Amino acid sequence: MSMDPKTLSELSDTYVKYLEELVDRIWVIVWITQEMKKGEPINQYLYVDMELCALQLRKSLEVVGYMCLLAHRPEIGKFNSKLKKIYKPNEIFKQLRSKNTSYFPVATVVKEDGENKEFVEVGLTNTGIPLSEKDYLKAYAKFCGPRMHANSEFKYRSQSEIEDAIDYARSTALGLLSLIGLHKINVGQKYILHAGINDRNSGKPFAQVFSRVGP
């Protein structure tokens, strides 16, 4: 499905807003876990800080889900009503995968040859290993979910359990940062969106949509 320039521009602008929100939430997690690792909770109790991290991490993961939905707007019209009733990322991604198997962001580097640009997939960036779809779903369901409910265990059983939780939250946040630092995502079948969090001119998040060339 082809999209007119105005629609593509609006898609890029909205995608950038998601990136701006995501960066802010990620740095909150990084800051809180940094203070926790020093033994200096921002609240009186470490486990309250961890709940704050889990909340920000869950919201960050949900923003990534919205980014995927936005990018696949040309293809999701037929089951939009169904998606409105779904809130779990694994169910949303299942629906997206049925339309396009390459629906999740992919970390990239840019290789330039004159006026030609190539977005090359990478498995390691300067901030670490990009978060995978599998780790994304695990973080949402196994780490964030149990910490979002009042009837879950409030305190940690040991210091090592606290340290493991801190390390997991921090590494997942940095994995998200590695994923979105510079990445590409398919926009339907005809376009590809290249985006990042640090434009070389403005230093701010950016997003550009290009027509796909080749398979």
The confidence band for 17, taking pLDDT boundaries of 50, 70 and 90, is: very high
Convert the pLDDT of each residue in 118-129 to its tens digit: 777 777 676 678
The predicted pLDDT at position 83 comes to 64
- Give the mean model confidence (pLDDT) for residues 102-116: 79
* Domain housing 48: 5-211
The predicted pLDDT at position 15 comes to 93
Annotate the chain with DSSP letters as a single string. Answer: ----HHHHHHHHHHHHHHHHHHHHHHHHHHHHHHHHHTT--SSS-HHHHHHHHHHHHHHHHHHHHHHHHHHTHHHHGGGHHHHTT---HHHHHHHHHHH-S--S-EEEEEEEETTEEEEEE-S-BTTBPPPPHHHHHHIIIIIIGGGGSTTS--S-SSHHHHHHHHHHHHHHHHHHHHHHHEEEEEETTTEEEEEES--TTTSS-EEEEEE----
The predicted pLDDT at position 169 comes to 93
- Give the mean model confidence (pLDDT) for residues 138-160: 76
The predicted pLDDT at position 16 comes to 95
Please tell me the total count of domains within the chain: 1
